[in-house]
Amino acid sequence: MMYSAKVMDHFANPRNTGVLPDANGVGEVGNQQCGDIMKIYLKIENDQIADVRFQTFGCGAAIATSSMATELIKGKPLSEALKLTNGAVMEALDGLPPVKVHCSVLAEQAIKAAIADYYTRQGIDPTPFVGELSEDCHDCHGGCDDGCC
Ligand code: FES
């Protein structure tokens, strides 16, 4: 089996899918390698992620990592959600095949983009919290194993 049982579960039964109408932070990122897109909706209250939803136009690994990432940040303070890395999401899923590592970067980047959007809507410069957002695979944590970097 190429994929772990957890990846298959989150792909077949993704958690937190859809749109959050009262979201106050929305982030959308694209994967430069494959053109897939992920959108994350956050409802933030008292600096905590009260609710989260996602829409992913992408492969099974992207859907599974989106689903797991939303589970990992739900109910967490923003400071903790910002520390979530694609490596942590992959670990929670018991790993991904090396060729699919780039898919996991989408979730981390979409969450950061949604939190940046939240800060911007509050009139706060997000850069000190979120840093410079990049969709460039060469900046992803740990680099890629699929020969693109
Ligand atoms: Fe595009 Fe996985 S192949 S996100």
CA of 123 to the centre of ligand 1 (A): 33
Around ligand 1, the residues with Cβ closer than 6 Å are 31, 34, 36, 58-59, 61-62, 103, 106
- Strands ordered across the beta sheet of 48-57: 25-30, 37-45, 48-57
Residue 59 has pLDDT above 70, yes or no: yes
Q: How far apart are CA 80 and CA 18, in angstroms?
A: 23
Once rounded to an integer, what is the mean pLDDT over residues 123-131? 93
Confidence of residue 148 (pLDDT cuts 50, 70, 90): very low
**Length of the chain measured in residues:** 149
The closest residue, in CA terms, to atom 4 on ligand 1 is 103
> How many other C-beta atoms lie within 10 A of the C-beta of residue 26?
18
Residue-wise pLDDT for 14-34, tens only, equals: 999 999 999 999 999 998 888
Q: Which atom of ligand 1 is nearest to the CA of 61?
A: 2
β pairing state of 37-45 and 25-30: antiparallel
DSSP class of 51: E
Question: Quick one: tokens of 121?
Answer: 């809507």
Q: Residue 127 and residue 67: Cα distance in Å, rounded? A: 26
Q: How confident is the model at residue 46 (pLDDT cuts 50, 70, 90)?
A: very high
- pTM > 0.85: yes
102: three-class secondary structure by DSSP = helix
Helices (H), 1-149: 5-12, 60-73, 78-81, 86-92, 101-121, 127-130
Cα 120 to Cα 93: distance, rounded to the nearest angstrom: 32
pLDDT for res 131: 85
- The one-character DSSP state at 97 is -
pLDDT confidence bin for 139, thresholds 50/70/90: very low
Q: What percent of the chain shows pLDDT beyond 70?
A: 89
Ligand 1, closest atom to CA 56? Answer: 4
How far is 110 from 43, CA to CA, in rounded Å?
14
